Structure 1
Amino acid sequence: MDRRAYAAVLALPGIALGAVGLLHPHHLSYATADRWFTLHLPGLFVFPLVGVALAALVGRRTDPVAWLVRLAAYTYATCYTALDVVSGIAAGWVTRELGPGVPRPDEVRLLFRLGTPLGEVGSWALVVTVVVLLADQLRRHGLRAAGGVLLLPGAWLVHTDHIFAPGGVAGTVLLGLGTAALALARPAERVTRTLPPATTG
């Protein structure tokens, strides 16, 4: 795959989450519950892909730094998916099913009490992922990897604002752009072709 196309593919999860964030309600109530629930369904599949894209940047390396990036990205993907399921899908569905005019019951508050700490672990794991990855890529590729610095504010904004607009939207988009920048920083792989031995007639 062409490097630019590969970079675009790796950027897509973050940018897609930014688009979803523009529609994400800031508060859960009966009036917003249907949209809250519906938007978190695709999130179930897209949130982990941000971690997959970041882990892909270490390629097939087997050194400790590469495994640390993979482990941190996996922790982010797992815990943030749990947040999406509990505080997004479950809380939105329960609130919608309760009907209009019903105050948020303790059961929904308990869902957030479960989901929020899981999301906190996931967002800190995302911060660790980008810090370790960026340091590694700058060491390996020098200034070519400078665009990856976008990952730092991106991960921090997701940590503080989730995907809520405007901060969270900016954060996810920066994650996508920073991931693409690091993909473009990698030198093109050289393909060595083995020619068949010449034959004599």
Structure 2
Amino acid sequence: MSEFFKQLEIQRWDDHRYYHHSRVNQALHFVSALSFLVAYGWLFVDPAIAALIGWLVSMTTRQSGHFFFEPKGYDHVNQASHEHKEEIKVGYNLQRKVVLMALWVAAPLALLVQPDLLGLVEPNDSWTGYLRQVGMAWLALGVGGLLFRTVHLFVIKDVQTGLVWMTKILTDPFHDIALYHKAPLQLLRGEWIDPAYHGQRG
């Protein structure tokens, strides 16, 4: 178990130092983490609502931070190009995230065009029913995306790497709150880039 937690710490540190230079990104991760905890709680009450919170609030804030605010130039502190970081990324790099987000957008459109999804679900009879079906589709997408990449890591790396990554993803909200809770205030003070990476060109 000591090796498992050591690898978990390495994956967390690599994720932070490579992909969280922007204070805007860090602040958005803090918001995302809080809303993910709300979504975790709602899983036990109403999974469809939990998924709507998770995707509409948690994932949009989280991923917009990566796509729009994180510097993508040469990382002088870590001596790594953006391309190299994307290549060695353990989880979902930006290219994989584009595919995931495309599926996210496609799910509600598919339910509009084909309300019963070719017989897979009961057709919705109201907008409330439609939103609940979207929520369940997004829940399936989230679980499927997590399991797919975990098993993929089993194959291309090893079982421990996959399990460590899955554990990291599931516990990221707790870790991100501890790591980035000061980011909104730091951002209000005009600190756009974490001082450890200040001066880098995106």
Q: Which has the higher contact order (CA 8 A, sep 6+)?
A: 2
Whose helix proportion is higher, 1 or 2?
A: 1
Q: TM-score range by the shorter chain?
A: 0.3 to 0.5
Rg comparison, structure with higher value: 1
TM-score normalized by the length of structure 2:
0.42
With normalisation by structure 1, the TM-score equals 0.42
